[in-house]
Structure 1
């Protein structure tokens, strides 16, 4: 969906500072926080059918930044190439906009979400055309729509928090905006010391997530062909709860108690490979985020706002994934990759990033999945009810699993692939899942 009209900005953006004094110190970032992979801002987009009080939102932001004060600071270089946060209370950037010709319903396309378009960037003007360190850790734009609806966009530095931490902040902001008591809500925990590297660092695993993809016998893996050739096109694939259940049932004979994520990740990975058609002997990877908050010993403190995840890596040849038994094969690999993530693996990852500051996954033949499901983004209420649309501002080559409004078991997979492969990906993902009458009738 293209936003044809220009967004009207009737006032200059303002810096919203904490309403009370906050600690003025330099915040250490863990190696999981400041790794090269995460040096960007995650741009969230929420569409609400109702209107909101923008002044109340701005005032509430000032108040909630007292607790979430690192978001009002500034990123900068520290020692040995690491980034730190100068907690200087400089403030978050807050922008207002007006789009009279746009309605909330235009972000929905039947039962699926509209595909992100480059024109959506006008919904977050403050995060444009600046280098990573020049953009404040938090940039917000609230845009009123002609239908009476509201769009909230928030760019949050990935170096400061992961999806769980971002959701925690957004819900805290919403509670303050609606004057709700915070008695039973968890306070943010900002100290990252629990994830400091060991001395000396000890890398105990191969960490294929940071290795270079290659063909068998390839003497120069650096020339492995990239699967992303040509202009990219976003593909939005909505799997209903019934679709997900069918995928789980397919895997059940080979994988006991297969989870929704395992079944769906395996299915999308396999369809992605088959649609791109890489060399059959090329080793392709599926990288996905695994929450480590309860996997490390001791567990991360409650309310931990930093990046509390590592990448799990499933790897296979394209031929194995494309085979008739590829779905079961892929699901078993996803399960095995997830089960590898324990305290030892996390500590080894932290130590690897201590020794290799420039460590970066090879994305030339890798699908990266980040799940925005089950972290509560679809329940965010800033005073206009639950959102009618939740998603990213733009579509990237990595894949997002997004919540589906009014279908708590449904998932929308959003990913960009070369234009020539877009239709094939959609066909591969949805083939055999549309005829759901038998499953749906059983559930009614």
Structure 2
């Protein structure tokens, strides 16, 4: 269906700094493979006839500013990495599809879609040879375009990646970057925060839950052997702004931690967690927790610059709860657990955690923990504040943007819709035997949602 027609190794247009960039502990714990993936879809237009040259030329220009991405990772002591800035370049693939954009439905990241639209590399080759940024532009027979951008998560997070793409789009239209768009690559502000001479760490004053083992199924010593190889499926569920508001209102009869109004992310994430528990039908005394990723740029003191181009995110777990607590209590119970975990993310807590990580002889085990987030737990990533739809390369705003890395049971993304009206879309992977029950439970008992939730959710996907 999709044929890759050409390949380019794109380097910065002008000379860039050479040498090594030290990475922060928040960079070091990220997956070193290309798990940072964003997919942009653009409708057919006469303006995108020269899209190949536009993409290639503007990519070489944006790399002048994002020059670390044109370099390579280098292994150092303790399972850690640093970036070698050597201007070796990034990969750009061109492809064409015999089908129309509409023929692909919701573009759910199935194995077939990923094989066609997501260029890959040989991960058996030395890591020093891997490009840190990989791009594929695919043109459909109808004239529509699909832009897939993959990055190594060690170098930058989703927020920084989204800003990179928006800045790249501005340069594609001949604009220059403003001061707030020039990326900051210096990690000094997030390097180990130990006291002078590195003798004392603050980690002991906190219970660093993110680095502990998540709950297992009762009777199991881990989640790997019991769950990791079970078949999974995707659910894509759309919530209108009225439906989102109804979820937020359902928290109104209970006071949340800190007394602030319930956010869209908190309400939707709590709803996902609760519905997953109900669909899985585990023992009522089964422990469960929810994992999430928090943007800590504004939580630090001083705050991280808005143009910080590294990982400004922190993994967090809620308090461990029992299934019966999540299911039998109002939705506000689960929402409160999320809020309480968020409120722990103070400047002191995050810097203490970075000291904890810096004191480890090897950080590899922190990366491997990501394999066991599924049943009986969920991992809900909120991307609602991302400026996804500002990425106009000259042929209009994208009509649909979504993250393209969703392989693990219990993993979910909460993303904004192009309408920017307060609605939201949930993309979730769950074990196949639970997926239809989850769809139904997501919509059950609310007059604002479809009468036939399973059928309507499928129709909603088809309209994307």
Query: TM-score if structure 1 supplies the norm length?
Result: 0.89
Q: Confirm whether residue 373 of structure 1 aligns to residue 384 of structure 2.
A: yes
| SS of alignment partner, residue 8 of structure 1 | strand
Counterpart residue number, 1:46: 40
Aligned partners of 2:180 and 2:307 also within 8 Å: no
**Which residue, out of 164, 170, 181, partners 2:165?**
170
Counterpart residue number, 1:190: 185
CA–CA distance in structure 2, aligned partners of residues 217 and 395 of structure 1 = 26
Q: Counterparts in 2 of 1:379-390, with a 5 A limit?
A: 379-390=390-401
| SS of alignment partner, residue 184 of structure 2 | coil
Q: Confirm whether residue 22 of structure 1 aligns to residue 4 of structure 2.
A: no
Q: Confirm whether residue 91 of structure 1 aligns to residue 89 of structure 2.
A: yes
Distance 1:425 1:404, change over 3 A: same
Q: Counterparts in 2 of 1:241-252, with a 5 A limit?
A: 241-252=241-252
Counterpart residue number, 2:288: 284
Counterpart residue number, 1:312: 316
| SS of alignment partner, residue 426 of structure 1 | helix
Q: Tell me the matched-pair count.
A: 424
Of 72-81 and 161-170, deviating more is: 72-81
| SS of alignment partner, residue 40 of structure 2 | strand
Counterpart residue number, 2:460: none
Counterpart residue number, 1:440: none
Deviations 1:311-339 (A, max 9, x none): 2221311121111x241210111111111
Runs of at least 5 residues in structure 1 that lack an aligned partner in the other structure: 438-444
How far 1:402 sits from its partner (Å)?
1.6
CA–CA distance in structure 2, aligned partners of residues 244 and 265 of structure 1 = 11
CA–CA distance in structure 1, aligned partners of residues 181 and 241 of structure 2 = 31
Of 292-301 and 88-97, deviating more is: 292-301
Q: Confirm whether residue 230 of structure 1 aligns to residue 223 of structure 2.
A: no
| SS of alignment partner, residue 85 of structure 1 | strand
Counterpart residue number, 1:274: 278
Distance 1:96 1:249, change over 3 A: same
Q: Confirm whether residue 435 of structure 1 aligns to residue 440 of structure 2.
A: no
Aligned Cα root-mean-square deviation (Å): 2.3
CA–CA distance in structure 2, aligned partners of residues 251 and 206 of structure 1 = 28
Q: Confirm whether residue 146 of structure 1 aligns to residue 156 of structure 2.
A: no
CA–CA distance in structure 2, aligned partners of residues 227 and 252 of structure 1 = 36
How far 1:216 sits from its partner (Å)?
11
Q: Confirm whether residue 321 of structure 1 aligns to residue 326 of structure 2.
A: yes
Aligned partners of 1:127 and 1:155 also within 8 Å: no
How far 1:158 sits from its partner (Å)?
0.8
How far 1:213 sits from its partner (Å)?
3.3
How far 1:182 sits from its partner (Å)?
2.4
How far 1:43 sits from its partner (Å)?
1.8
CA–CA distance in structure 2, aligned partners of residues 279 and 183 of structure 1 = 55
Distance 1:355 1:428, change over 3 A: farther
| SS of alignment partner, residue 429 of structure 1 | helix
Query: TM-score if structure 2 supplies the norm length?
Result: 0.85
Runs of at least 5 residues in structure 2 that lack an aligned partner in the other structure: 451-464
Deviations 1:161-214 (A, max 9, x none): 111100111011100101123236421000111111212333132122221234
**Which residue, out of 415, 420, 423, partners 1:410?**
423
**Which residue, out of 64, 67, 71, partners 1:66?**
64
CA–CA distance in structure 1, aligned partners of residues 421 and 243 of structure 2 = 13
